[in-house]
């Protein structure tokens, strides 16, 4: 059945479902979303479609902070931003709809393999990664006797293909991190602890505190720029692509951030009692003499879990 025909045929059912909706969802909005989603092609009725929407919205509180009141306008904006076609397809696949699976395989099977190969860098590892994820998506894994499909966690905030790529990347990174820790002890040559750590000169201690204070004042984007560029060694193009602006913009932002950090470090040193000239000389200290761990400084805010952060 063609999608248009299916929509037309399912119109009475949709009207029936809309009448049974919870009062939180505007029927006109639901009808609009229903038409845009083409959910009837995958055997979803309007009631089920509405329940999926409400579930997706309630998980993230429609993009608002937890506890914040949701207005119909926010609700409409949130729903209209969703990838409804991908959402209903994923939910239909999670339910085991045969035609939805055929469509999913025809549409996403090859891109999934290509993405896995691109992530792993080799074809064999890529195919293994893709097959593993594909088996999970098909619902071969069960928990407590219930078939579990990762597609059920897809909420349509981004594209389904993007979600699949991110899932592949997550699994690849986690696998890499796990296998790296499984290094044999014979090959691991741990450095001996420093028997007698020297006392740090007061100038360097002041400089360390000034740097920590300056870094703590950076906003999230600046911190991400510093971490991605200096810690991960990402290129400006990759950083700009991730944040959604041009690499030249990334370069300017990075330059501005480092300049501002230097200015704040100088200011902190002057506040600590050093003259301007002494502060400038302290800035010329060898970084290896400083006991500043940028990784720790940048991860300082990562003390709580992400869910705890989002809840606040």
Partner 1 sequence: MIGASQHELHPDAELLNAFAERALGERERDQVLIHLAACRRCRQVVALAHQAVGPEHVNLEQVELEEVALPTAAAPAVAASVPARTALRRPWWRNWHFAWIPASALVATAGFAVYLHVARVAHNAELAQNNRPVVQFNKTTAQPAPQEQPKALPPAPSSVLVAQNQRERAAKTPTEARREPKSLYGGEGGQAPSEAEQQAVVNGLGAPPPRDFERAEKSEALPEPAAPPPPMAAAELPPPAAAQTVVVTQSENAPQTVSSQQIMRIESPSAAEAKAPQTTSTSVAASAAKKQRQGELKELAEQDRQLQATAARASNRQSSGPAPAAPTTAAVYRRQTETRGASIAAFAALHGAEAAGRPIHLPSGLAVVSTASANHRMLAIDKAGTLFLSEDSGLNWHPVRAQWPGRAILVRAVSVPAPAATPSQFAENSTGAAPVAAPAATFFEIVNDKNQVFQSTDGTSWVAK
CA–CA separation, 98 and 78 (whole Å): 29
Q: In whole angstroms, how close is the CB of 56 to partner 1 at the nearest point?
A: 10
* Residue 51 binds to partner 1 (criterion: CB under 8 A): no
Q: How many residues bind partner 1 (CB under 8 A)?
A: 66
Q: Which stretch binds partner 1 (CB under 8 A): 9-17, 192-200, 240-248, 284-292?
A: 240-248
- Scanning the chain, the segments in alpha helix (DSSP H) are 3-9, 11-19, 27-37, 46-59, 72-81, 84-95, 98-120, 123-138, 160-181, 202-216, 220-226, 236-243, 247-271, 276-283, 294-298, 306-311
Q: Within 250-289, which residues bind partner 1 (CB under 8 A)?
A: none
* Residue 67 binds to partner 1 (criterion: CB under 8 A): no
**Is residue 170 a contact partner of residue 127, using CB atoms and an 8 Å limit?**
no
* Residue 8 binds to partner 1 (criterion: CB under 8 A): no
Closest CA to 49 of 16, 3, 96: 16
Q: Which stretch binds partner 1 (CB under 8 A): 46-54, 184-192, 229-237, 274-282?
A: 229-237
**Is residue 206 a contact partner of residue 272, using CB atoms and an 8 Å limit?**
yes
Does residue 143 sit in helix, strand or coil? strand
**Is residue 112 a contact partner of residue 164, using CB atoms and an 8 Å limit?**
yes
* Residue 302 binds to partner 1 (criterion: CB under 8 A): yes
**Is residue 39 a contact partner of residue 49, using CB atoms and an 8 Å limit?**
yes
Q: Which of 39, 168, 214, 254 binds partner 1 (CB under 8 A)?
A: 168
Q: Which of 5, 19, 98, 232 binds partner 1 (CB under 8 A)?
A: 232
* Residue 244 binds to partner 1 (criterion: CB under 8 A): yes
Q: Which residues bind partner 1 (CB under 8 A)?
A: 32, 36, 60, 63-65, 73, 76-77, 79-85, 111, 114-116, 118-119, 153-155, 157-159, 161-163, 165-170, 172-174, 177, 220-221, 223-224, 226-228, 231-232, 234, 238, 241-242, 244, 295, 298-302, 305-307, 309-310
């Amino acid at each position: 059945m063609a999608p248009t025909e299916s929509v037309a045929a399912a119109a009475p059912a949709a009207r029936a479902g809309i009448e049974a909706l919870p009062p939180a969802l505007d029927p006109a909005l639901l009808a609009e979303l229903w038409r845009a989603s083409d959910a009837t092609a995958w055997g979803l009725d309007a009631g089920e479609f509405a329940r999926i929407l409400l579930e997706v919205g309630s998980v993230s509180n429609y993009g608002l902070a937890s506890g914040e009141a949701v207005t119909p306008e926010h609700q409409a904006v949130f729903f209209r931003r969703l990838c409804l076609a991908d959402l209903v397809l994923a939910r239909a696949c999670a339910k085991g709809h045969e035609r939805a699976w055929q469509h999913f395989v025809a549409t996403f099977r090859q891109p999934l393999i290509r993405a896995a190969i691109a992530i792993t860098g080799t074809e064999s590892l890529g195919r293994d990664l893709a097959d593993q994820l594909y088996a999970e998506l098909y619902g071969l894994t069960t928990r407590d006797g219930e078939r579990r499909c990762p597609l059920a966690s897809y909420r349509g905030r981004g594209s389904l293909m993007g979600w699949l790529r991110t899932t592949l990347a997550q699994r690849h990174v986690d696998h890499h991190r796990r296998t790296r820790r499984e290094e044999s002890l014979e090959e691991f040559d741990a450095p001996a602890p420093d028997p007698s750590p020297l006392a740090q000169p007061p100038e360097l201690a002041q400089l360390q505190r000034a740097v920590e204070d300056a870094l703590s004042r950076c906003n999230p984007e600046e911190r991400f720029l510093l971490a991605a560029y200096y810690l991960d060694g990402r290129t400006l193009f990759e950083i700009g692509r991730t944040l959604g602006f041009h690499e030249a913009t990334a370069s300017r932002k990075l330059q501005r951030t480092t300049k501002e950090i230097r200015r704040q470090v100088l200011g902190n040193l002057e506040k600590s009692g050093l003259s301007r000239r002494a502060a400038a000389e302290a800035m010329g200290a060898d970084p290896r003499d400083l006991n500043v761990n940028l990784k720790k400084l940048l991860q300082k805010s990562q003390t709580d879990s992400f869910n705890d952060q989002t809840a606040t």
